[in-house]
């Protein structure tokens, strides 16, 4: 294989895909390949795709259309489609576009360098979407990270639930849990290299059960990660409400390094819809968990995912979701129009909600949330918050970062602060972000003394 070739991975979808792309990049660099700075510069292009909604698949087809034109000019161009979208669409991506050289799913990332080598040598397209038999997630030693202060760490992959709308169990396969000692060794290594924020990742993180003799539960793992010297912030995504036990709340209260933010997908506020979604909890059970979170001594921010227009969702069901939003006052939400996915149980359900009605419900829900967030954020004005500076801001401000409870804060300051924790006094609140001013160390001492 021509090792001089530059590769570029375009990532679609979630944080798991993002981390997978970093892992694949590390594996390819270990093979002697070079990352290209952009798609234009690359001879090997990999699209790491998502399958969660139909729109995600359509985006890939449209990118493949563009790449087809590019390949007509540069016949040596290699195009691979990997990730959940590839697992779902399989050969269709190749057959319908005539541009794809490699198709493989998210369970196969450690095989990608070998597959690439084979296709480049034999010049025959390769499709491998068999489930990976290995009982544990792939271990990747050298992950090519794009941040020097924040790192995603896999704790489990796949999902044993069967939510009737969800494609993930079909694409990522059954749950595989990583040994606790391996997770902790990776976190220690990251901390020694200067990383201060860790994001523990998995499709159903709190179902985590350490397969090694230590047998850590999810809450025990959280505590252990939060105790690694040098680690200042620990987040995790996504937990399932059914496995959301009180020991997780206790851990957050006892370890200040565990961020006081929980993302707990609700999906719907109607027990009838939740039952058809096969979510295994009712409106009341979710509410109990939310109340327990809200009653915690340390204030814990709560965000969620909501799907509107699931088959059979009546106006009354939807009203129950809205009522739940009033009751819980989520700190933020991700909301989606239901999209039928092949092979899932709900794809067969009758009584579908039409697109215009889904769009209307989404709008109503988002407008409601905006008002709730505005009211909630207004309470921050005047407070001094700790912010991990993440990037230059996309606004008129110079910098952007997040509080431990996951609020975006924009403020002015020098670029060298990126990657560090600073204090910011909030001066203005918007629905989706806060604005503030950097507090000088001397002002902080004054505040502490007063």
- Nearest approach, Cβ of 265 to ligand SAH (angstroms)? 4
DSSP string, 376-399: HHHTTTT-EEEEEEEEE-SSSSSE
Cβ proximity to ligand SAH, 268 vs 435, nearer residue: 268
Window 321 to 340, contacts with ligand SAH (CB under 6 A):
336, 338-339
Binding span for ligand F3S by CB under 6 A among 37-45, 164-172, 311-319, 379-387: 164-172
3-class DSSP state for residue 366? helix
Nearest in space to 438 (alpha carbons), one of 88, 64, 415, 103: 415
Binder of residue 403, out of ligand SAH, ligand F3S, none (CB less than 5 to 8 A by kind)? none
Q: Which residue has the tokens 């401000």?
A: 397
With CB under 6 A as the rule, give the number of residues binding ligand F3S.
9
Write the burial class of residue 157 (CB in 10 Å: 0-12 exposed, 13-18 middle, 19+ buried): buried
DSSP string, 210-239: --STT--BHHHHHHHHHTSTT--EEEEE--
Q: Which residue has the tokens 């407070």?
A: 383
Q: Does 163 bind ligand F3S (CB under 6 A)?
A: yes
Cβ proximity to ligand SAH, 154 vs 435, nearer residue: 154
3-class DSSP state for residue 19? helix
Residue 31 gets which letter from DSSP?
T
Cβ proximity to ligand F3S, 159 vs 293, nearer residue: 159
Binder of residue 339, out of ligand SAH, ligand F3S, none (CB less than 5 to 8 A by kind)? ligand SAH
Cα–Cα distance between 188 and 229 in angstroms, integer? 8
Q: E-strand spans in 12-89?
A: 34-35, 44-49, 78-83
Q: Which residue has the tokens 């006094």?
A: 425
Q: How many CB atoms lie within 10 A of CB 295?
A: 9
Cβ proximity to ligand F3S, 145 vs 240, nearer residue: 240
Cβ proximity to ligand F3S, 161 vs 406, nearer residue: 161
Q: Does 48 bind ligand SAH (CB under 6 A)?
A: no
- Choosing from 97, 171, 203, 332, the residue that interacts with ligand F3S (CB under 6 A) is 203
Question: CB neighbours of 362 closer than 8 A, spacing ≥ 6?
Answer: 308, 309, 335, 336, 337
Binder of residue 338, out of ligand F3S, ligand SAH, none (CB less than 5 to 8 A by kind)? ligand SAH
Window 143 to 172, contacts with ligand SAH (CB under 6 A):
165-166, 168
| x/- letters, 207..246, toward ligand F3S (CB under 6 A) | ---------------------------------x------
Residue 56 near residue 12, CB atoms below 8 Å: yes
- Choosing from 64, 159, 179, 353, the residue that interacts with ligand F3S (CB under 6 A) is 159
Binder of residue 169, out of ligand F3S, ligand SAH, none (CB less than 5 to 8 A by kind)? ligand F3S
Angle, CA 321 vertex, CA 316 and CA 322 arms, to 5°: 95
Starting at the earlier edge strand, list the strands of the sheet with 150-154: 150-154, 197-201, 233-237
Q: Which residue is nearest to ligand SAH (CB)?
A: 238
- Nearest approach, Cβ of 63 to ligand SAH (angstroms)? 21
The dihedrals phi and psi of 261, each to the nearest 5 degrees, come to -145, 130
- Nearest approach, Cβ of 198 to ligand F3S (angstroms)? 21
Taking each continuous run of H as one helix and of E as one strand, the counts in the chain are 14, 19
- Nearest approach, Cβ of 341 to ligand SAH (angstroms)? 5
Q: Does 169 bind ligand F3S (CB under 6 A)?
A: yes
- Nearest approach, Cβ of 205 to ligand SAH (angstroms)? 8
Binder of residue 400, out of ligand F3S, ligand SAH, none (CB less than 5 to 8 A by kind)? none
3-class DSSP state for residue 144? coil
Residue 136 gets which letter from DSSP?
S
Window 218 to 277, contacts with ligand SAH (CB under 6 A):
237-238, 265, 267
Window 341 to 360, contacts with ligand SAH (CB under 6 A):
341
Assigned token pair, 267: 């999906």
Binder of residue 52, out of ligand SAH, ligand F3S, none (CB less than 5 to 8 A by kind)? ligand SAH
- Choosing from 27, 307, 388, 389, the residue that interacts with ligand SAH (CB under 6 A) is 307
Cα–Cα distance between 163 and 265 in angstroms, integer? 12
Cα–Cα distance between 49 and 82 in angstroms, integer? 6
Enumerate binding residues for ligand F3S (CB under 6 A). 159, 161, 163, 166, 168-169, 203-204, 240
Enumerate binding residues for ligand SAH (CB under 6 A). 52-53, 165-166, 168, 203-204, 237-238, 265, 267, 305, 307, 336, 338-339, 341
């Amino acid at each position: 294989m021509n090792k001089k070739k530059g590769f570029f991975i375009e990532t679609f979808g979630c944080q798991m895909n993002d981390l997978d792309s970093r892992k694949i990049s590390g594996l390819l660099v270990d093979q002697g390949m070079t990352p290209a700075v952009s798609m234009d510069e690359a001879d090997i292009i990999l699209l790491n795709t998502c399958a969660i909604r139909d729109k995600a698949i359509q985006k890939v087809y449209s990118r493949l259309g563009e790449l087809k034109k590019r390949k007509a000019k540069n016949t040596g161009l290699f195009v691979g489609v990997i990730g959940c979208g590839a697992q779902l669409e399989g050969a269709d991506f190749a057959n319908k576009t005539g541009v794809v050289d490699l198709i493989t799913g998210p369970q196969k990332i450690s095989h990608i360098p070998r597959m690439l080598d084979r296709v480049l040598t034999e010049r025959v397209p390769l499709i491998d979407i068999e489930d990976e038999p290995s009982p544990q997630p792939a271990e990747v030693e050298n992950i090519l990270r794009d941040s020097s202060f924040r790192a995603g760490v896999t704790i489990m992959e796949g999902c044993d639930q069967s939510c009737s709308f969800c494609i993930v169990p079909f694409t990522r396969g059954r749950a595989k849990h990583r040994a606790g000692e391996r997770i902790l060794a990776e976190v220690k290594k990251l901390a020694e290299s200067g990383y201060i924020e860790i994001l523990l990742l998995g499709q159903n993180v709190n179902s985590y059960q350490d397969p090694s003799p230590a047998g850590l539960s999810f809450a025990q793992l959280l505590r252990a990660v939060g105790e690694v010297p040098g680690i200042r912030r620990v987040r995790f995504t996504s937990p399932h409400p059914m496995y959301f036990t009180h020991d997780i709340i206790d851990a957050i209260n006892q370890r200040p390094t565990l961020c006081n933010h929980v993302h707990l997908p609700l999906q719907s506020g109607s027990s009838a819809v939740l039952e058809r979604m096969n979510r295994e909890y009712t409106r009341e059970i979710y509410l109990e968990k939310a109340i327990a979170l809200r009653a915690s001594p340390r204030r814990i921010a709560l965000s969620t995912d909501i799907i509107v227009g699931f088959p059979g969702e009546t106006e009354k069901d939807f009203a129950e979701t809205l009522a739940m939003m009033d009751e819980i006052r989520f700190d933020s939400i991700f909301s989606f129009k239901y999209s039928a996915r092949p092979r899932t149980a709900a794809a067969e359900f009758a009584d579908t909600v039409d697109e215009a009605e889904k769009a209307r419900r989404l709008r109503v829900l988002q407008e409601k949330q905006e008002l709730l967030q505005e009211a909630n954020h207004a309470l921050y004005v005047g407070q001094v918050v700790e912010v991990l500076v993440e990037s230059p801001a996309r606004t008129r401000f110079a910098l952007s970062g997040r509080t431990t409870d996951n609020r975006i804060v924009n403020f002015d300051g020098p670029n060298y602060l990126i990657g560090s924790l600073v204090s910011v006094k909030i001066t203005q609140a918007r629905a989706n972000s806060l604005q503030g001013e950097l507090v000088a160390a001397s002002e902080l001492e004054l505040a502490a003394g007063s």
